[in-house]
């Protein structure tokens, strides 16, 4: 079965719209955007559309691409302290010269729907957070939708990055799965993937997980995006859908749900 991320995101969108309408609260997402990258602008447009559909105001703060680390941190801190801003995110990626974590740590957990500050991640990893990192929330929504029980499952997470690998592995362990994390340093990765009940990949390298690397009936969740011949592709070869019991592809799988989860977090923080 191929996951229809847009359909799951649509369900979440409808329930969030109803919740906001009933609460009568004014909710605003502040977005700090560095420079004028067209790809970044495209992602931002998708978030704005989602926000408009559910009744959330989006305020974009643009700064020049040649801003210094300290000036960017000051600017973000200023945005965080504006009372009307319910939540604050930084549109990634940032220019290479910018120290990403130093910047993100200016966001307080109470206003961090993306959960990328050290304090928000710390609360999540110790089980003290009311919300989940959006990508984790998206994967959970797919499992909930398909009534997947994680306890006792053998899960392989491909990549140990900050945005996908680390938070996903931490969450899976908390749910009672047996978890292996593999990366470019892992010898014979297929030794792990062939035994996996669940594979979740977030590396951003085209089609690194092939059909002959997985067992029949695997649950394959693709969270990696990259470009190949001008097209957005995932880490997992779409051919895997022939063997998988559930396959969340790129594009159209986890992506739309992740945006829905960002706004779900925002509304939760507003409470």
Q: Is 225 assigned a ligand-binding role in the annotation?
A: yes
Q: Is 161 assigned a ligand-binding role in the annotation?
A: yes
Cα separation, 116 vs 118, whole angstroms:
6
Q: Is 159 assigned a ligand-binding role in the annotation?
A: yes
Q: Is 258 assigned a ligand-binding role in the annotation?
A: no
Is the separation of the CB atoms in 69 and 96 below 8 Å?
Answer: no
Nearby residues of 156 by Cβ (< 8 Å), 6 or more positions away: 179, 180, 181, 182, 192, 193, 195, 196, 198, 199, 200
Concatenate the DSSP letters of all residues of the chain into one string.
-B--HHHHHHHHHHHHHHHHHHH----EEEEEEES--HHHHHHHHHHHHHHHHHT-EEEEEEE-TT--HHHHHHHHHHHHT-TT-SEEEE-SPPPTTS-HHHHHTTS-GGG-TT--SHHHHHHHHTT--SS--HHHHHHHHHHHHTT---TT-EEEEE---TTTHHHHHHHHHHTT-EEEEE-TT-SSTHHHHTT-SEEEE----TT-B-GGGS-TT-EEEE---EEETTEEE-SB-GGGGGT-SEEE-TTTSHHHHHHHHHHHHHHHHH-
Residues at the annotated binding site? 159-161, 225
Residues at the annotated binding site for NADP(+)? 159-161, 225
């Amino acid at each position: 079965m191929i996951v229809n991320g847009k359909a799951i995101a649509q369900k979440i969108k409808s329930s969030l719209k109803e919740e906001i309408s009933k609460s009568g609260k004014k909710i605003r997402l502040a977005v700090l955007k560095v420079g004028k990258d067209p790809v970044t602008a495209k992602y931002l447009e998708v978030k704005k559309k989602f926000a408009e559909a559910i009744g959330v105001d989006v305020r974009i703060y643009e700064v020049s691409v040649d801003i210094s680390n300290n000036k960017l941190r000051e600017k973000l801190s200023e945005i965080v302290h504006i009372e009307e801003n319910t939540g604050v995110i930084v549109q990634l990626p940032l220019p290479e010269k910018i120290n990403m974590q130093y910047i993100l740590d200016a966001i307080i957990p109470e206003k961090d729907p993306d959960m990328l500050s050290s304090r928000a991640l710390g609360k999540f990893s110790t089980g003290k957070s009311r919300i989940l990192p959006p990508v984790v929330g998206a994967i959970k929504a797919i499992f909930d939708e398909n009534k997947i029980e994680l306890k006792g499952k053998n899960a392989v997470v491909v990549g140990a990055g900050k945005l996908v690998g680390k938070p996903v592995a931490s969450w899976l362990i908390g749910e009672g799965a047996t978890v292996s994390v593999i990366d470019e340093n892992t010898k014979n990765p297929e030794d792990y993937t062939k035994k996996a009940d669940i594979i979740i990949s977030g590396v951003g390298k085209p089609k690194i997980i092939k059909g002959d690397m997985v067992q029949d009936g695997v649950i394959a969740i693709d969270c990696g995006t990259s470009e190949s011949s001008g097209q957005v592709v995932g880490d997992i070869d779409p051919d895997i859908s022939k063997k998988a019991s559930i396959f969340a592809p790129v594009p159209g799988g986890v992506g739309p749900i992740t945006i829905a989860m960002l706004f779900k977090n925002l509304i939760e923080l507003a409470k």
